[in-house]
Amino acid sequence: MSSNDVYAKQGFGATLEPVAPFGLLIIDLVNGFADPEVFGGGNIPQAIEKTQELLAIAREKNWPVAHTRIVFADDQSDNNIFSIKVPSMLTLLEDAEISHIVPELTPVAGELVVRKTVPSAFFGTSLAAWLTQRGVQTLVVAGAVTSGCVRASVVDAMQLGFRPLVVSDCVGDRAIDPHNANLFDMKQKYAYVATLEETKALLD
Active site residues: 149
CA 97 to chain centre: 20
Respond yes or no on whether the N-terminal peptide bond of residue 87 is cis (omega within 30° of 0): no
User: How far is Cα 8 from Cα 10, in angstroms, rounded to an integer?
Assistant: 5
| Separation between Cα atoms, residue 165 and residue 187, nearest integer Å | 9
Contacts of 138 (CB under 8 A, 6+ apart): 18, 19, 20, 21, 22, 23, 162, 163, 164, 165, 192
State the DSSP H helix or E strand holding residue 34, giving kind and residue range, or none if neither. Answer: helix 31-34
